[in-house]
Amino acid sequence: MNIFRFLGDMSHILSFVILLLKITQGKSAAGISLRTQELYMIVFCSRYLDLFWNFSSLYNSFLKVVFIACSSAIVYIIRFKSPQKDTWNPELDNFPIQYLIGPCAVAGLLINQDWTPFEMIWAFSIYLEAVAILPQLFLLQKQGEVENLTSHYVAALGAYRGLYLMNWVYRYFTEDDYLQRIVWFAGTVQTGLYIDFFYHYYQSKRGGLSRPVKLP
């Protein structure tokens, strides 16, 4: 464990806290893409299948359960719970996620670590996580303006993988036999998708004014 990975995990947890607060306290999922939340649920449920046989640390196993539980709860609330379910707009949040899941599944089959079924599933979850934010970014693009809490949610989510990139650089230089090109490539793509958002987020938050984040 290093400070970058720890901060990355904290940023990821923060993104869950912000989103859960927003949809439970704010009683509204307006501006949140259910499609993206469904993709994250698939990502965590597939990646953490090894919860039952890979025990790395209590920290690791605990967060795996937390991430599966939170992502599932978020999908449940937005999909089934009133009044949140009435604030979800299927016309706006209509990104064809099958065009994300399909190619990621093929990529997971073709490019993975050890050609075992679980490694294929693991690689699938890594590729899917890299593109899972797309429906959310498309929704924000359509709306033009981003609600304050939602902007912090997306920023925390982008920061988490950005911090993981730093963690991988740190591990590359401090561990002599460490090479993880699959997750490095996917993590770079994932963080890259946020660059545009980060630019507008920074512009809107600069100088302490909390002007709304505007996406062109």
Partner 1 sequence: RHDRRPHDEL
Kindly give the interhelix angle for 148-174 and 3-25, rounded to the nearest 10 degrees: 160
Applying CB under 8 A, what is the total number of residues that bind partner 1? 26
- Part in contact with partner 1 (CB under 8 A); list of ranges 62-70, 93-101, 133-141, 193-201: 62-70
Among 39, 101, 183, 215, binds partner 1 (CB under 8 A): 183
Cβ at position 54, least distance to partner 1 in Å: 5
Read off the tokens for 198.
């980060």
- Part in contact with partner 1 (CB under 8 A); list of ranges 14-22, 57-65, 83-91, 151-159: 57-65
- Part in contact with partner 1 (CB under 8 A); list of ranges 84-92, 139-147, 172-180, 192-200: 172-180
Side-chain-side CA neighbours of residue 145 (13 Å):
5
User: What's the CA gap between 6 and 8, in Å, rounded?
Assistant: 5
Residue 146: phi and psi, rounded to 5, are -110, 130
Residue 160: other Cβ atoms inside 10 A: 20
145 bridge partner residues: 214
Among 7, 87, 94, 119, binds partner 1 (CB under 8 A): 119
Q: Which is nearer to partner 1, 1 or 195 (CB)?
A: 1
